[in-house]
């Protein structure tokens, strides 16, 4: 079971949790980028890559007998934080479409580059399936 941690008096965050507690079997998803099962980047658009990366996360979770509802933590690595900040509505729509109304502890970090040069986003996840 997951429980959101929200300190008293703190403004409630939008789209993520400040912290989570969870108990159960852990599933670790390596960083997923916007490529398909044959490792072909789905396009140059950030939102298209984001959607594919999220779909890849869900596919790995399913392979571990888990789903988006079990996500306790996400880390997003971004090529361009300005694009991330400018496209919030689109990001939210794609996130809700693929992941649903699940808002885990989340971190977003701009990085200088990825091993795959065409990548614009990479997402890693820790999920916890209840006992």
pLDDT tens digit at each of 131 positions of the chain? 788 999 999 999 988 999 999 999 999 999 999 999 999 999 999 999 999 999 999 999 999 999 999 999 999 999 999 999 999 999 999 999 999 999 999 999 999 999 999 999 999 999 999 98
Q: Which CATH number belongs to the domain containing residue 46 in this structure?
A: 3.30.1330.40
What pTM was estimated for this model as a whole?
0.94
> Does residue 4 fall inside a structural domain?
no
Do the beta carbons of residue 34 and residue 52 sit within 8 Å?
yes
> Does residue 113 fall inside a structural domain?
yes
Return d(Cα 118, Cα 65) in angstroms, integer: 30
For the chain, give the longest Cα–Cα distance. 48
> Does residue 2 fall inside a structural domain?
no
> Does residue 56 fall inside a structural domain?
yes
Number of domains observed in the structure of the chain: 1
> Does residue 18 fall inside a structural domain?
no
Return d(Cα 35, Cα 22) in angstroms, integer: 30
Distances (CA, A) of 61 to 48, 55, 69, 89: 20, 10, 10, 25
Q: For position 14, what pLDDT does the model report?
A: 87
Note the pLDDT tens digit of each residue in 72-106: 999 999 999 999 999 999 999 999 999 999 999 99
> Does residue 6 fall inside a structural domain?
no
Return d(Cα 52, Cα 125) in angstroms, integer: 15
Which structural domain, as residue segments, surrounds residue 51? 24-129
> Does residue 53 fall inside a structural domain?
yes
């Amino acid at each position: 079971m997951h429980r959101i941690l929200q300190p008293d008096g703190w403004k409630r965050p939008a789209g993520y949790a400040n912290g989570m507690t969870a108990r159960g079997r852990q599933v670790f998803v390596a960083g997923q980028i916007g490529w398909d099962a044959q490792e072909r980047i789905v396009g140059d658009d950030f939102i298209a890559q984001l959607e594919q990366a999220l779909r890849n996360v869900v596919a790995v979770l399913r392979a571990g007998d888990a789903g988006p509802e079990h996500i306790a933590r996400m880390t997003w690595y971004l090529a361009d934080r300005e694009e991330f900040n400018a496209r919030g509505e689109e990001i939210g729509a794609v996130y809700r479409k693929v992941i649903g109304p699940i808002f885990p502890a989340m971190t977003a970090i701009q990085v200088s580059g990825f091993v795959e040069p065409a990548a614009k986003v990479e997402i890693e996840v820790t999920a916890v399936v209840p006992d």
